């Protein structure tokens, strides 16, 4: 009997046993629970009362507004450059920075403070090692505790490398809930709109330097499920020029190491290993890999059942850092960081499915994002490799997707 025959026979037998077992039981009642709907009679009673309440509230709000008319503010156009990438639509200006009276979100670390001015502060990233996007907004985490930078639900946030913040609004309910990508620089009162996907799904991937200019990388998904097309694009934060880097996969987490030589190394991972690692020109054309080793989907062999998740190649093309997770045990996973030439270091990261991001050989922090049962983000952890002898794992308070922040 061949292996295929044995496997087919085993699964067929299993299915038969399940059916037999379930057939012994009565069919469960799986009809939907009744939902409360007010009857017509209820509406007849409630409608006039509701209308009166609404009218009273409206009159009160109008009176309050007239009494507390704020000082005139400069038109949004004077402080905000509203620009959207090609193929997108520009919405009305929107302010997502937290109001000065906003209460800080709860945290188990140091006390949370709120940005004390209307403008985005110049020192927002002082002492910050990670920035996290979640339902509670964009929060910077560091030695000084947690600081809310954006007071609106967000799905991704990255430092621009010079004191500014690029972030994407939305919720993790699904890609359809991902909204516009915004950019706020020190001194800005309102964020600048960078990308708005209306008939497409836009995902912020990160911020990378391309020949000295920070670029926002994002994917754009268009078409129906049958004709879906995902492209990788970059938008220069100074020139606002758009680079089309060609098609990528939808489910893979696209991570890139950007060379200074006019090429981009696109690394796509599946959560299990590297799917594709290729160089492209800034026009999205394939290019021979010169500065990075050719890699296939890699399952690295350090111990048991590890899978490579992230790879970072330095500009000299000689060293790289790989991050992987090994088989889960209990509520923890072993995170393995390998630097070629110096061997591997293993660290235990609490809780299940992990997605390491933002690691390089010069900056000693690895941010590990975890995912919950149904794929939504869970807690994020910061692994500190600055002291190889005593590296430690710290949980960032709050759920969301986090990225490491390098000092200015």
Partner 1 sequence: MEHSDGEIPVVRRPMPFEAFYLAEFPTMVALACAVSGSRLAAEDIAQEAMVEASKRWHVIGTYDKPGAWVRRVTIQKAGKRLRRARTEAAALLKLRPDDGLEPGPPDVEEVFDAIGRLPARQRAAVALHYLDGYSVAEVADILECAEGTAKAHLHKARRTLATALREEES
The upper half-sphere exposure of residue 110, i.e. CA atoms within 13 Å in the direction of its Cβ, equals 12
List CB contacts of 367: < 8 A, sequence separation 6 or more.
Answer: 130, 356, 357, 358, 380, 381, 382, 383, 402, 403, 404
Size of the site for partner 1 (CB under 8 A): 44
Burial of 389 (0-12, 13-18, 19+ CB in 10 A): exposed
Pure H helices in 24-72: 40-67
Q: Does 227 bind partner 1 (CB under 8 A)?
A: no
Interface with partner 1, residue 144, by CB under 8 A:
no
Closest CA to 390 of 352, 345, 349, 353: 345
Is 305 near partner 1 (CB under 8 A)? Answer: yes
Q: Does 376 bind partner 1 (CB under 8 A)?
A: no
Name which of residues 81 to 140 contact partner 1 (CB under 8 A). none
Contact in structure between 356 and 335 (CB atoms under 8 Å): yes
**What residues are paired with 354 via a beta bridge?**
370
- Whichever of 150 and 349 has its CB closer to partner 1, that residue is 349
| Cβ-based nearer residue to partner 1, 189 or 289 | 289
x/- map, 233-272, partner 1, by CB under 8 A: ----------------x-xx---------------x-xxx
Answer yes or no whether residue 327 interacts with partner 1 by CB under 8 A. Answer: yes
Q: Which residue is listed with tokens 């290019």?
A: 287
Note whether 32 binds partner 1 by CB under 8 A.
yes
Interface residue with partner 1 among 61, 117, 329, 342 (CB under 8 A) is 329
Judged by CB under 8 A, which stretch of 14-22, 338-346, 379-387, 389-397 contacts partner 1?
A: 14-22
Task: Give yes or no for residue 330 binding partner 1 (CB under 8 A).
Answer: yes
Q: Is the torsion defined by CA of 364, 153, 139, 393 positive or negative?
A: negative
User: d(Cα 345, Cα 362) in Å, to the nearest integer?
Assistant: 16
CB of 12 to partner 1, least distance (A): 9
Least distance in angstroms from the C-beta of 27 to partner 1: 7
Q: Applying CB under 8 A, which of residues 14, 52, 55, 122 lies at the interface with partner 1? A: 14
> Does 19 participate in binding partner 1 (rule CB under 8 A)?
yes
Q: Which is nearer to partner 1, 108 or 225 (CB)?
A: 225
Binding mask 184-203 for partner 1 (x = CB under 8 A): --------------xx----
CB–CB of 133/167 below 8 Å? yes
């Amino acid at each position: 009997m061949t292996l295929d025959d044995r496997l087919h026979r085993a699964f067929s037998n299993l299915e038969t046993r399940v059916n037999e077992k379930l057939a012994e039981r009565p069919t469960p009642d799986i009809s939907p629970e009744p939902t409360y709907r007010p009857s017509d009679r209820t509406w007849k009673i409630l409608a006039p009362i509701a209308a009166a309440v609404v009218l009273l509230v409206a009159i009160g709000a109008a009176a309050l507004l007239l009494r507390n008319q704020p000082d005139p503010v400069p038109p949004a156009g004077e402080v905000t450059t509203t620009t959207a990438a090609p193929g997108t639509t520009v919405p009305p200006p929107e302010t997502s920075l937290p109001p000065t009276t906003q209460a800080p979100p709860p945290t188990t670390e140091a006390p949370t403070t709120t940005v004390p001015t209307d403008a985005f502060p110049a020192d927002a990233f002082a002492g910050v090692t990670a920035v996290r996007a979640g339902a509670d907004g964009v929060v910077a985490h560091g030695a000084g505790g947690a600081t809310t930078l954006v007071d609106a639900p967000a799905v991704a946030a990255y430092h621009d490398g010079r004191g500014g913040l690029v972030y994407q609004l939305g919720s993790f309910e699904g890609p359809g809930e991902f909204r516009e990508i915004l950019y706020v620089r020190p001194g800005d009162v309102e964020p600048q709109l960078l990308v708005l996907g209306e008939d497409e799904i836009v995902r912020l991937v990160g911020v990378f330097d391309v020949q000295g200019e920070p670029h926002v990388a994002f994917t754009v998904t268009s078409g129906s499920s049958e004709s879906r097309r995902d492209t990788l694009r970059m938008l220069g934060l100074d020139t606002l020029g758009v680079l089309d880097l060609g098609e990528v996969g939808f489910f893979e987490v696209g991570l890139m190491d950007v060379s200074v030589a006019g090429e981009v190394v696109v690394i796509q991972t599946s959560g299990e290993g590297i799917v594709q690692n290729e160089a492209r020109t800034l026009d999205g054309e394939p290019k021979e890999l010169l500065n990075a080793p050719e890699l296939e989907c890699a399952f690295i062999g350090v111990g048991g059942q590890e899978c490579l998740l992230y790879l970072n190649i330095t500009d000299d093309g000689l060293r790289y850092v790989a991050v992987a997770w090994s088989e889960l045990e209990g509520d923890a996973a072993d995170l393995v960081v390998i630097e070629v030439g110096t061997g591997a270091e293993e660290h235990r990261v609490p809780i299940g499915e992990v997605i390491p991001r933002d690691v390089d050989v010069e900056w000693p922090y690895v941010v590990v994002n975890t995912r919950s049962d149904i794929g939504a983000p869970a807690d994020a952890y910061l692994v500190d490799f600055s002291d190889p002898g005593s590296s430690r794992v710290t949980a960032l308070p709050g759920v969301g997707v986090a990225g490491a922040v390098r000092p200015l």
